[in-house]
Structure 1
Amino acid sequence: MDDGSRLDRWDRGTDLPLGIASLVFLGSYAVHVLEPDLPQAVHALLLTLTYGTWAMFAVDYAVRWRLSGEGPGFVRRHWLDSLVLVLPLLRPLRIVRTYEAMQRRHGEPRLGLHARVATYSALSISLLGFAGALAVYQAERSAPGATIRTFGDSLWWTCETLSTVGYGDFVPVTATGRIIAVGLMACGLALLGTVTGSFSSFLMQRFSLGDEERRPPGNTPGA
Structure 2
Amino acid sequence: MSGEPEVAHTPEEDTEEEEIKSSYKPPPEKTIEEILAADQEDESLRKYKEALLGQAQAGAVIVEPDDPRKVIVKKLALCVVGRDDVELDLTGDLTDLKKQVFVIKEGVQYRIRIDFIVQREIVHGLKYVQKTYRLGVPVPVDKMTHMVGSYPPKTEIQSYTTPPEDAPSGMMARGSYSVNSLFTDDDKNVHLQWEWSFEIKKDWKD
TM-score, structure 2 normalization: 0.24
Tell me which protein shows more helix as a share of its residues. Answer: 1
**Structure with bigger RCO (C-alpha 8 Å, 6+ apart):** 2
